[in-house]
Amino acid sequence: MALDYAAKAQLVSRIPRTHARQAVVEQLLSLLRSGAYGPGDRLPPEPELMRLTGVGRSTIREAIRGLASMQLVEVQPGRGTFVSSGSSQSLDDPKMLLLLSDRQAVVDLIEARTLIEPHIARLAAERATTEDVAAIGAALAAQVSASDHAAWREAHLAFHEALARATHNLVLTRMWSSVATFLRNSPLISPAQPSTWDSVGRALHERIYETIAAQDVAAAVAAMDEHIADMMGFLGRSPGGKTDSPEG
C-alpha cells in the first residue's frame, strides 16, 4: 500500500541550520584572514549580511557570536560589529581556526570523548578520593544552580575536569583539557538558548556523580556511556527547540 501524504511528508528531513551558520563563519573568517577586513573595521550590519548571504537573522547572529567568542570581533551594542585589534594574532593560527569552525571536528570531538570518557568514569570510580568526590559534587551543584548558559558551561566543564582529575592519571587529565578547549571555543558549540541542559542531561550527570561517589565502577561506566550516546543524539536530532550542538 502506498504511503499517504502525511507519512510521505515525514520523509523530507530538516536541513541543519548549522550548515548555514558554518558557511557564514567560514566566509567571515576568510575575509578576516585575507585582510579584506582588518582590525578596527566595521563588518556590514546585520540586514546587509542577511541580504548578502541570503541567510536568516538568527544564523547571522550565531555566526557573529561564534567569532566574538573567539575574540576575533567585538560587538558594540548600538554601533556595530568591529574586527578586534588582536584578531591578527589569533588568525596566525589558521589550523586552530579551521578546526574550531569545522563541523567534522565536532564529530571528531565526540568520537574522542567516546574513547576517553568511559575510561575516565571507570578510573574515577575506582580511585576518587573524598576531595575528588567533593569537587565533582560542587561542580554538579554549580551546574544545577547556573543562571545563564555561560555559567552553566563553565560549571559543566569543571564537572568533567573534576572527573578527569579523579582518575589521578595526568595524561587523561591533559587529554580532557584538549577536549575542553573545543567545548569552550568552537563557534559550532555555542547554543543560542541557555536551556542546554534538559532533564535527561541533568539526570545523567547526577547518576555519574552518584555512581562514582558509591565507587560503583560498572554503573559509572554505564552512566557515562549513556551521556555520550545522548550527546551523539544531538548530531542527528531534528527540530523541537533543541540545539544541534553536542554540548553535554
Write the Ramachandran bin of 215: left for phi over 0, alpha for psi from -120 to 50, otherwise beta.
left
To Zn ion, the closest distance from the beta carbon of 118 in angstroms equals 13
Taking residues 189 to 228 in sequence order and writing x for each that binds Zn ion by CB under 5 A, - otherwise, the string is ----------------------------------------
Which residue of this chain has its Cβ atom nearest to Zn ion in the complex?
248
Give the nearest distance from C-beta 121 to Zn ion in angstroms.
11
Extract the C-alpha cell encoding 60. 547571522
Fill in the per-residue mask, 150 to 179: x = in contact with Zn ion (CB under 5 A), - = not in contact.
------------------------------
d(CA 223, CA 225): 5
74 vs 206, beta carbon nearer Zn ion: 206
Nearer to Zn ion, 191 or 248 (CB): 248
Question: Among residues 37 and 209, whose Cβ is nearest to Zn ion?
Answer: 209
Lookup: cell for 225: 556511556
Q: Could you give the 3-state DSSP secondary structure of residue 237? A: coil
Contact range with Zn ion by CB under 5 A, out of 76-84, 94-102, 134-142, 240-248: 240-248
72: CB partners within 8 A, 6+ apart: 29, 32, 83, 84, 87, 90, 91
Minimal distance in Å, beta carbon 50 to Zn ion?
34
Nearest to 28 by CA among 77, 105, 84: 84
Compute the radius of gyration of the chain from its Cα atoms: 20
Question: 20 vs 120, which CB is nearer to Zn ion?
Answer: 120
Q: Is 187 in the site for Zn ion (CB under 5 A)?
A: no
- Decide whether 55 or 158 has the Cβ nearer to Zn ion: 158
> Which neighbouring-strand residues pair with 74?
82
Residue whose cell numbers read 541533568: 202
Q: Which residues of 22-55 are buried (b: 16+ CB within 10 A; e: fewer)?
A: bebbbebbeebbeeebeeeeebbeeeebeeebeb
Of 118, 187, 246, 248, which one interacts with Zn ion (CB under 5 A)?
248
Kindly give, in sequence order, each residue whose CB lies less than 8 Å from that of residue 217, ignoring residues fewer than 6 positions away: 122, 125, 126
**Site size with Zn ion, rule: CB under 5 A:** 1
DSSP 188: G
Q: Among residues 37 and 182, whose Cβ is nearest to Zn ion?
A: 182
Q: How far is the CB of 93 from Zn ion (least distance, A)?
A: 27
Among 239, 237, 235, CA closest to 110: 235
Q: How far is the CB of 161 from Zn ion (least distance, A)?
A: 11
Residue closer to Zn ion by CB (options 187, 248) is 248
Minimum distance of Zn ion from residue 34's CB (angstroms): 37
List interacting residues with Zn ion (CB under 5 A): 248
